[in-house]
Structure 1
Amino acid sequence: MTTATSTPADLRSGQTLNLALATLAFCISFWAWNLIAPLGVRYAEVLHLSSTQKSVLVAIPIIVGSVGRILTGALTDRYGGRLMFPVLLIATAPFVVLVAVAGEVGSYPMMLVVGFFLGISGTTFAVGIPFVNAWYQPSKRGFATGIFGAGMGGTALSAFFTPRFVSWFGYVTTHVIVAAGLVVVAVIVWMFMHDSPAWQPNRAAVTPKLIAAAKLPITWQMSFLYAATFGGFVAFSTYLPTYLKDIYDFDLQAAGTRTAGFAVAAVIARPIGGVLSDRFGPKLITFISCAGAAVLAIWMITEPPLEFLAGLDFVLMAVCMGLGSGSVFTWVAQSAPTERVGSVTGIVGAAGGLGGFFPPMVMGATYNAEEHSYTVGLALLVVFATGAAVFTLLGIKRGPVREHAT
């Protein structure tokens, strides 16, 4: 993404509207991205799935939603968010309906294939970060990317409302409603969204742009940290209903409600992480996030009793994941070259999504059904989060260099 000469007044005139529209688009797309997980228990019963099969099913949309960010980030540098958002929302809608078809016919292979392509909706993250970045001065980008990142609350909406919609309106109708919502938001975005006057299309070929972004140390440093923070959020958001059913014997709606609470806590914490990073630096906030997650995972291994202690553990874990998600992308906004923000965002965003793909599979594979225990999976989380905290503190020698407003 390249920038044109613009004044702060030029940017301020459209900041609020475009930030709100980008957040709305991100939110509805994340609802679609997380459409399978809240009904994971239902699918396990109807399709007679093993623990491993169930974990693969809820994690499969993450693949395209993660890897696809590399391409959509680079394409956003060229075409802008005003075009990319509606294109991706419209492209997702048919696969939302096909999820319902696969569920109705009871085909696990079809569900996997459709779930794979449902991941298109998760790529909107790599559109929004460079789009929002261009609308704000460097000193406000932590705030702006944090607010946009709160659109990941679409996972909370999905966790809370999807099981209830199925109860109220029926299984197929629920998916039609979500697909219609994607189309409506796409139309609204196309009509009212505008690319920043500070943005100009980067017409360079996509492959060289990605190679150039991949050569930047900040790209891989932030990729690792985002895999730990946002990846942890995605993993918990997708697998938590299953975890709560296995450990605490919650039904579908009760597990969905508590998963929604987890997501809401992370959503609230993400812009706070951005604001705190603007003030104190993203390195400190990221370290606190990762270290806190390691400690809380140790507590989780003990299976704290319901409701207060277990709830407190999960909420604090969500806060840590949210703070870290906000701080890492403040770090990206402060450190990535302006013309590479989209490409860097795509790679880092992909790493974050992939960080959320593997943990549910590991949790399913290591689950001890006889003892109803996830000790092995949680112990691996402790090791990974601790490694991320140490890397944040000691592995990145130079702090971010802020760009100056032009």
Structure 2
Amino acid sequence: MRVGVTGSSARSLNLILATWVSAINFWAWNLIGPLSTTYADALSLSSAQASILVATPILVGALGRVVIGPLTDRFGGRTMFIAISVSSMFPVLAVGFAGAIDSYVLLLAFGFVLGIAGTIFAVGIPFVNSWFRPERRGFATGVFGAGMVGTALSAFFTPRFVRWFGLFPTHAIIAGALAITAIVCVLVMRNSPDFTPNTQSVLPKLKGAAKLRVTWEMSFLYAVVFGGFVAFSNYLPTYIKTIYHFSAVDAGTRTAAFAVAAVVARPIGGALSDRVPPKFVVLFSFAGTAAMAIVAAFQPPPDVLSAATFISLALFLGVGTGGVFAWVARRSPAKSVGAVTGIVAAAGGLGGYFPPLVMGATYNAEENNYTVGLGLLALTALAALLYTAYKLPARESAHSTAPAKRN
């Protein structure tokens, strides 16, 4: 029997629960990243092999969102939160098993399936939107987006859990947390009274969302800001150990600080977008991201200057993720929010898939730097800034939901 609450208490409770479900699934999704240097040492992996290992869960977590968004429109957030939490338990255990027996092939295979946990984000946005009035959705989606803190929890605790309990027991603990989370959702969580299932089949909904200009505009922007966050949350342990020669635990601690900064900034970006046009919030994010990427390319010395650089980068990326999704919530047609969210969220995940591969491929071993990769990030952020400044309206209009032009 589910616990019943009404009004603002119900909104707050379900927002908190949704944020927690996101956090624990983000932790599961990011299990490989904090241990990548451990796997690289144990399996004698090259920089490229380690990058592929880190990026593999990101791929499925990205592409799966395309389908999960429309399914949320149909079945509701509560059902999908439960289904994804339960489904993620098994690949978490499988990845732990593969790591325990030092199998790179199995780590890749099970890491691919682990991407299921990363699809959770496409559930939360339509779920939260249905609970809150339009003028509060920027704040609400920003709070839900703070579930990204799961990457910080993973970066900080996963290496420590492995040291304290062992590799497979650590994965068993996370699987247990997912099970408890699913049970709490069964008992407590509920859909908004305003939620109406959209029984249209998934493919037509995706086609309809794909015809909206807003879908592709927001996908591009989100691929930069959220993709940058995901990429650094997963690859920063490798970067820090390679450039600054910290241990896996110390690198995890610094990566956790990066993730926490982005998490704190996300609801700020959402709340700001309730007060000023999201366009200006997003422009601020891109300008700061480009500047910090350039600074990082010069390898500021540890620990104060390098920490300030990457935490500042995280703040700009976090503000941008909050701003972009507040913009999505405003500009998307009400019945297409899930489908648009799924595509945009997938673009964000894909934005996080390629940078680790680029960083690994462009690493200069002779001079021990990632200058090319960071330079490409700066150029991408500048391109997004120019597109936003000159091509996107500051205010919502009929243009926002117009069909995309056919070439």
Q: Could you say which TM-score interval applies, normalised by the shorter chain? A: over 0.9
Query: What amino acid is the match of 2:18?
Result: A
Alignment match, 1:59: 55
Alignment match, 1:178: 174
Q: CA deviation at 1:10?
A: 6.4
**CA distance in structure 2 between the partners assigned to 1:277 and 1:392 by the alignment:** 15
Residue number among 21, 27, 40 corresponding to 2:36 in the alignment: 40
Corresponding residue pairs, total: 395
> What's the % identity of the aligned pairs?
56
Q: CA deviation at 1:395?
A: 1.6
**CA distance in structure 2 between the partners assigned to 1:11 and 1:326 by the alignment:** 25
CA contact (8 A) 2:56 2:108 kept: yes
Residue number among 185, 206, 216 corresponding to 2:212 in the alignment: 216
Alignment match, 1:228: 224
- TM-score by structure 1 length? 0.96
Alignment match, 2:279: 283
**CA distance in structure 2 between the partners assigned to 1:75 and 1:85 by the alignment:** 11
**Residues 68-93 of structure 1, C-alpha deviations (whole Å, 9 max, x = no match):** 00100000000001100010010010
Alignment match, 1:241: 237
Unpaired runs of 5+ in structure 2? 401-407
Query: What amino acid is the match of 2:60?
Result: V
Which 4+ stretches in 1 moved above 4 angstroms? none
**CA distance in structure 2 between the partners assigned to 1:232 and 1:165 by the alignment:** 27
Residue number among 174, 185, 208 corresponding to 1:189 in the alignment: 185
Q: CA deviation at 1:308?
A: 1.4
**Residues 79-110 of structure 1, C-alpha deviations (whole Å, 9 max, x = no match):** 00110001001001011011111112211111
- TM-score by structure 2 length? 0.95
CA contact (8 A) 2:258 2:310 kept: yes
**CA distance in structure 1 between the partners assigned to 2:27 and 2:395 by the alignment:** 35
Alignment match, 1:137: 133
Residue number among 377, 387, 393 corresponding to 1:397 in the alignment: 393
**CA distance in structure 2 between the partners assigned to 1:198 and 1:286 by the alignment:** 30
Q: CA deviation at 1:399?
A: 2.6
Q: How does 1:309-320 map to 2 (within 5 A)?
A: 309-320=305-316
1:198 aligns with 2:194: yes
Q: CA deviation at 1:11?
A: 4.8
Alignment match, 2:88: 92
**CA distance in structure 2 between the partners assigned to 1:378 and 1:326 by the alignment:** 23
1:292 aligns with 2:305: no
SS at match of 1:372: coil
Query: What amino acid is the match of 2:208?
Result: A
Decide whether aligned partners of structure 1 residues 260 and 192 sit closer, same or farther in structure 2, where only a CA change above 3 A counts. same
Q: CA deviation at 1:392?
A: 1.0
Residue number among 264, 269, 276 corresponding to 1:268 in the alignment: 264
**CA distance in structure 2 between the partners assigned to 1:382 and 1:336 by the alignment:** 29
Alignment match, 1:162: 158
Q: CA deviation at 1:401?
A: 4.9
**CA distance in structure 2 between the partners assigned to 1:365 and 1:11 by the alignment:** 52
**CA distance in structure 1 between the partners assigned to 2:327 and 2:373 by the alignment:** 29
Alignment match, 1:5: none
Query: What amino acid is the match of 1:236?
Result: F
Query: What amino acid is the match of 2:50?
Result: K
